[in-house]
Amino acid sequence: MTTYAIHEQTLADYQAMPTKDLVEFIVENFHEKHRAQLPELIILARKIEEVHHDHNACPTGLNELLQTVYQELESHMLKEEQILFPMLAGGIFPQGPIAVMEEEHEHHEQLIEQLQALTNQCQPPTDACGSWLTLYTQLADFIFDLHQHIALENTVLFKQPAAAAGHHGNGHCCGGCQ
């Protein structure tokens, strides 16, 4: 798995944020952004595959792979928003659900590797049309954003703050201790 670092100063800023604010930041700046990015990428990929199916650099299967990414990422984000994030915002850091999300992040990284392999690292052919150039530019942006999203959750959000460690669950077991 490739680990993408967050700039040291930015990392310190994120670490200083209250968990509830960090959760809101992630939903607003990553989850909502991915929900906007992926449908546009799917439309562009479908167009490129239909129009340029006979080009030797055509990313055949990209549309289908992006649909898979969208479905899996949407399912993942909903689990975070509906189950895990409310717990984290409440000071509960359940290790079982966090481990599941981290495993899913590893799978998302594998999907990114497939996207990059299929698109020659988002490098269009020299004779690519405007739509193809747009697709690869937007796909590179999505990949960068998703790497940052995963890094922020894995290195900051999912790390139990020292203050919460002594008050795990505030007297209520969330199942993470078992």
The domain total for the chain is: 1
Assign 5 a pLDDT band (cuts: 50, 70, 90). Answer: low
Exposure string over 78-109, b if 16+ CB within 10 A, otherwise e: eebeeebbebbeebbbbeebbeebeebbeebb
| DSSP 8-state class, residue 172 | S
pLDDT tens-place string over residues 81-131: 999 999 999 999 999 999 999 999 999 999 999 999 999 999 999 999 999
Classify residue 103: in a domain, yes or no. Answer: yes
Whether 16 maps to a domain, the answer reads: no
- For 173, half-sphere exposure in the C-beta direction (CA atoms, 13 angstrom radius) is 4
**Residue 90 resides in a domain:** yes
Q: Radius of gyration of the chain from Cα atoms?
A: 19
CA separation for the pair 150, 109 (Å, rounded):
9
Q: In the predicted model, is pLDDT for residue 165 greater than 90?
A: no
- Does 3 reside within a domain? no
In a domain? residue 9: no
What rounded mean pLDDT belongs to the chain? 89
Segments forming the whole domain that contains residue 79: 30-161
Does 178 have pLDDT greater than 70? no
pLDDT digits (tens, 9 = 90+) for 11-42: 788 889 999 999 999 999 999 999 999 999 99
Identify whether 174 is part of a domain: no
Q: Is residue 7 part of a domain?
A: no
Cα four-point dihedral sign 109, 146, 32, 27? positive
Residue 22 lies in a domain: no
